[in-house]
Amino acid sequence: MKKSMIIVLAMLLVLSVGVVNAGAVELRVYSMFSGADPASGVYEELIEEFKAEHPEVEIVDESATLDESVKVRIENDFASGNEPDITMYFTDSQAKPIVESGRVTPLDEILANSPEWKNGFLDSVLEQVKYSDGNIYALPITGFYEGLIVNLDLFEEHDVKIPETKEELFAAVETFRANDIVPMAAGLGMTPHYNIEHSILKVGGAAAHDAGIADEINPMWVDGLNHMQELYEADAFQKDTLTQDWSGARQLFKQGRAAMLVEGSWAIADAQNEGANRVTIVPYPKVGENGNQSDLIAGFTSGMYLSKEAYNDDEKQEAVVELLKHLTSKEAIKKIAEANGGLPAADVTPAGLSKPYQDGLEMFKNADHVSLPIDAQIQRPAWQTLVDGVAYIVSGRRSAEDILETVREIELQTR
């Protein structure tokens, strides 16, 4: 009698603990929408909405601005099995450590079971975020485009034409230099990324840009890098560009001390400032014979990953899929695109965009061809070697061929 009482009491205790626990599904989410990101407010609203609709779910928001150290933290979280339940990360070559950790769920089937959700996305965009094994692991929200951000006031004041060709570009450089204005702000020392991509794209064309480096060193890459050297010698960049990064370059542009800046859609809102009141974004000029004026670097290279562990956890599954659905719904995509001016991954038209963003969307629509950035296509160690090599190339300390030789060696080794 006594024994059975104890067993009953113990069972009651276990059940009651179970009931308490059932009320608290905890979900960890990482997104890049944090800090100064223009979409962070909208993202927080989305999370709040979800919390209100699902009081039984507790959300631990681990969002942080994505810099190199956060990237490494995320990679290591996946390598060590400590990943968040939903992680926003890259879908390009940088996805390798995430997908190959084996800790994310392919989403194709989940999407297929939920046609309304799936139809919210543009098919072409889903195609672009597919991993090399043919599966979709991440759901895109917004994409980006890159180009030449120009300070319209400075161009009008000094009567300079917004460059579309190499000649016009160098003429603009000369005029601005003569007037004590930095023609093109760039962080060639630390973040020459956008300049590398555009130089190669506009000298060699999309095919050369997209060729990668594993098969051979495309001569257009050499010419592209030499174009940067030519600009450097023409004094196109600020004098201390070799020890600066994007923030220094953007600062110079914002203060109205620089007329041009090669950057992406994410930078437009920040670049438009007291010193640079009227800005717009145009394609980087066509520099070489093979280049095409309207070609762009643009695309979708990030998305929301779903952790395999969370999906296989019966208690979490429903809640985590619901949250993913909520964050990547057509409405959510529209709201985020309106906030950050990016390209929406759904078939929606963002409302209320400012002039430069309208110009940007127009530029994107008029592009003959869009390429993903080079760093989305080659392996990280190889890309960083190229980035570090730019200072050596433009100053003439090492030739472009020499640097690319090293880059290729590392690319082959890494594969």
Partner 1 sequence: MRSGTYQLLLTFSLEVETIKFKKDKKVIFFFLLPALLFWSIFLFYPILRSFYKTFFFTVHNINPEFIGFGNYIKLFNDPVVWLATKNTFIFMIAAVVFQVGLGILLAIFVDLIKYGKNFFRTTFFFPIVLSAASLGLLFRLLYNYDAGLLNSVLKFFDMDPVLWLDASKALAMVMIPTIWQYVGFYFVIILTALTKIPNALYEVARLEGATTFQRVTKITLPLIIQDIRVTIVLAITGTLKVFDMVWMITAGGPFDSSQVLGTYMYSTVFQRRLFGYGSTIAIFIIVLGVVVTSLTNKFIGDKDVTID
Binding site for partner 1 (CB under 8 A): 68-69, 72, 75-76, 79, 96-97, 100-101, 182, 189-190, 238-240, 242-243, 245, 248, 251-252, 255, 257, 379-381, 384-385, 388, 391-392, 395, 397, 413-414
50 near 326, Cβ under 8 Å? yes
Q: What whole-number distance in Å separates Cα of residue 161 and Cα of residue 181?
A: 15
213 near 204, Cβ under 8 Å? no
CB of 398 to partner 1, least distance (A): 9
Comparing CB distances to partner 1, the nearer of 50 and 246 is 246
Comparing CB distances to partner 1, the nearer of 153 and 245 is 245
CB of 414 to partner 1, least distance (A): 5
Comparing CB distances to partner 1, the nearer of 240 and 318 is 240
What tokens appear for 47 in the block? 């999370």
CB of 211 to partner 1, least distance (A): 22
CB of 228 to partner 1, least distance (A): 15
Q: Exposed, middle or buried by CB within 10 Å (0-12, 13-18, 19+), for 113? A: exposed
Query: What's the Cα-to-Cα distance from 376 to each of 124, 134, 291, 348, 351, rounded to whole Å?
Result: 17, 17, 20, 26, 29
Comparing CB distances to partner 1, the nearer of 225 and 336 is 225
CB of 391 to partner 1, least distance (A): 5
Q: What is the dihedral of CA 67, 69, 71, 76, to 10 degrees?
A: -170
Look up residue 266 and give its amino acid.
W
Comparing CB distances to partner 1, the nearer of 101 and 294 is 101
CB of 386 to partner 1, least distance (A): 11
Comparing CB distances to partner 1, the nearer of 71 and 118 is 71
Q: What whole-number distance in Å separates Cα of residue 410 and Cα of residue 381?
A: 7
27 near 59, Cβ under 8 Å? yes
CB of 383 to partner 1, least distance (A): 9
Specify the length of the chain in residues: 415
Comparing CB distances to partner 1, the nearer of 238 and 340 is 238
CB of 392 to partner 1, least distance (A): 6
Comparing CB distances to partner 1, the nearer of 230 and 375 is 375
27 near 320, Cβ under 8 Å? yes
Q: Exposed, middle or buried by CB within 10 Å (0-12, 13-18, 19+), for 156? A: exposed
Comparing CB distances to partner 1, the nearer of 249 and 279 is 249
